[in-house]
């Protein structure tokens, strides 16, 4: 499956521009207080008023759309600030004095060059990481992949650099590798897609890993450790095992622990986990490696059905990614 339509914001802006409708990209560059969207959030605005994405919870979009029309008229980028005081914040819907700064860039020769936006869209289509940088005084723009920003890139963390540049990473989707094409996996795949992730499901059992059960998704029928070796989990990959079968889960766990995946979660009760840990220790897995395993998988929300379990798993993955631990 391709990236969800609601995530295709640069693509929408480029398409509108190429169709002669005009387009503007608005991007959150800094936030303070209770701002509802973090730096890097984007809103595309067409010349005839269509929008995709958001820079707030809906509270400042109207003002940004109005400013986008002005930016299209004069071709100049600008930075907008919303909030500051509680009274001002209330006027645009930012509670408790939250403040956001929004960069508004018309697509064109005196704004964000269409060729540069096309390069961003091409990199996203090819699932290549790319960093966009713009200096907010000189308006000098560049594309690249700065190794010094590796952690920011891993976390999709946009923001201001000390030299006055706004840095915006465009990363391929985070990956979720699911071992076991079970009922929970069906719900988890859909939830991952809604969160902008790229899921892969591994199960050598053809009755489980049938395309009809996971329409349009990537299914691998290899043995889990072989599949994981070919997928090469990195620091932007989460792995979840769901089969309850040690013959399938254990090889996947060993392969995941040998990788750079940032999250490994394993389905099963506390008793199942205790037996799993006994097997891992007997196989020589160190305690520091065992400590990487989240089991029983998911946040403890009292989940009672496959959809709720998938919700708890996706929530825990997100927590680990964004907050660590």
Nearest to 156 by CA among 132, 140, 176, 177: 132
Confidence of residue 171 (pLDDT cuts 50, 70, 90): confident
How far is Cα 290 from Cα 30, in angstroms, rounded to an integer?
Answer: 38
Average pLDDT estimate for 68-78: 96
- Helix 183-194 with 306-323: angle, nearest 10 deg: 50
Do 179 and 140 share a structural domain?
no
Map residue 54 onto helix, strand or coil: coil
Confidence of residue 146 (pLDDT cuts 50, 70, 90): low
93 pLDDT more than 60: no
263 pLDDT more than 60: yes
Do 187 and 164 share a structural domain?
no
Residues in the chain: 325
Asked which of 100, 135, 170 is the last residue of a domain, the reply is 170
Confidence of residue 127 (pLDDT cuts 50, 70, 90): confident
Neighbours of 89 (CB within 10 A): 23
Confidence of residue 38 (pLDDT cuts 50, 70, 90): confident
Do 141 and 27 share a structural domain?
yes
More confident residue, 59 or 256: 256
4 pLDDT more than 70: no
For residue 61, give its domain range: 5-170
Asked which of 139, 170, 201 is the last residue of a domain, the reply is 170
Confidence of residue 89 (pLDDT cuts 50, 70, 90): very low
Q: pLDDT tens digit string along 158-168?
A: 999 889 999 99
Query: How many structural domains are present in the chain?
Result: 2
85 pLDDT more than 50: no
3 pLDDT more than 90: no
- Answer for the pair 54, 21: CB distance below 8 angstroms, yes or no: no
Do 184 and 153 share a structural domain?
no
Do 136 and 39 share a structural domain?
yes
Q: Which residue has the tokens 């071992």?
A: 179
Average pLDDT estimate for 87-105: 67
Confidence of residue 101 (pLDDT cuts 50, 70, 90): very high
Do 146 and 105 share a structural domain?
yes
Q: pLDDT tens digit string along 264-289?
A: 999 999 999 999 999 999 999 999 99
Average pLDDT estimate for 244-267: 96
Look at residue 237 in the predicted model and tell me its pLDDT.
96
Look at residue 34 in the predicted model and tell me its pLDDT.
63
Nearest to 256 by CA among 235, 278, 275, 273: 235
Do 208 and 122 share a structural domain?
no
- Supply the DSSP string of 113-180, one letter for each residue: -HHHHHHHHHHHHTT--EEEEEETTT--EEEE--GGGHHHHHTT--EE-TTSEEEEEE-PPPEEEEE-
On average, the pLDDT of the chain sits at 90
Do 126 and 69 share a structural domain?
yes
Average pLDDT estimate for 60-83: 92
More confident residue, 37 or 262: 262
Do 304 and 196 share a structural domain?
yes
β-strand pairing of 263-266 with 237-241: parallel
Do 290 and 223 share a structural domain?
yes
Neighbours of 95 (CB within 10 A): 15
Looking at residue 184, which CATH number applies to its domain? Answer: 3.40.50.720
Average pLDDT estimate for 72-90: 76
324 pLDDT more than 90: no
121 pLDDT more than 80: yes
58 pLDDT more than 90: no
Do 195 and 149 share a structural domain?
no
How far is Cα 25 from Cα 325, in angstroms, rounded to an integer?
Answer: 35
Asked which of 170, 186, 212 is the last residue of a domain, the reply is 170
Look at residue 84 in the predicted model and tell me its pLDDT.
46
Do 154 and 22 share a structural domain?
yes
């Amino acid at each position: 499956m391709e990236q969800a339509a609601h995530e295709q914001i640069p693509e929408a802006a480029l398409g509108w521009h190429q169709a002669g409708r005009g387009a503007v990209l608005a991007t959150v560059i800094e936030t303070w207080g209770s701002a509802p969207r973090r730096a890097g959030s984007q809103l595309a605005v067409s010349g005839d008023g269509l929008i995709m994405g958001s820079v707030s919870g809906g509270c400042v979009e109207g003002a940004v759309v109005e400013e986008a029309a002005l930016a299209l008229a004069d071709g100049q980028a600008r930075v907008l600030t919303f909030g500051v005081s509680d009274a001002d914040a209330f006027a645009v819907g930012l509670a408790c004095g939250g403040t956001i700064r929004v960069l508004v860039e018309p697509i064109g020769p005196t704004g964000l060059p269409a060729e540069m936006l096309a390069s961003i869209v091409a990199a996203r289509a090819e699932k290549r990481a790319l960093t966009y940088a713009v200096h907010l005084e000189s308006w000098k723009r560049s594309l690249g992949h700065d190794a010094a920003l590796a952690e920011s890139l891993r976390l999709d963390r946009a923001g201001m650099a000390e030299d006055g540049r706004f840095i915006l990473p465009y990363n391929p989707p985070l990956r979720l590798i699911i071992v076991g094409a079970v009922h929970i996996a069906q719900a988890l795949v859909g939830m991952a897609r809604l969160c902008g992730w790229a899921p892969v499901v591994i199960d050598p059992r053809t009755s489980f890993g049938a395309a009809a059960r996971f329409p349009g998704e990537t299914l691998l029928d290899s043995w889990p450790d072989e599949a994981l070796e070919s997928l090469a989990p990195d620091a932007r990959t989460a792995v979840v095992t769901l089969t309850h079968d040690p013959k399938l889960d254990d090889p996947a766990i060993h392969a995941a622990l040998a990788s750079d995946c940032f999250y490994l979660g394993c389905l099963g009760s506390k008793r199942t986990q205790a037996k799993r840990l006994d097997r891992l220790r007997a196989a020589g897995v160190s305690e520091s490696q065992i400590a990487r395993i989240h089991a029983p998988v998911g946040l403890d929300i009292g989940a009672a059905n496959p959809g709720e379990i998938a919700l708890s798993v996706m929530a825990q993955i997100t927590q680990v990614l964004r907050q660590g631990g």
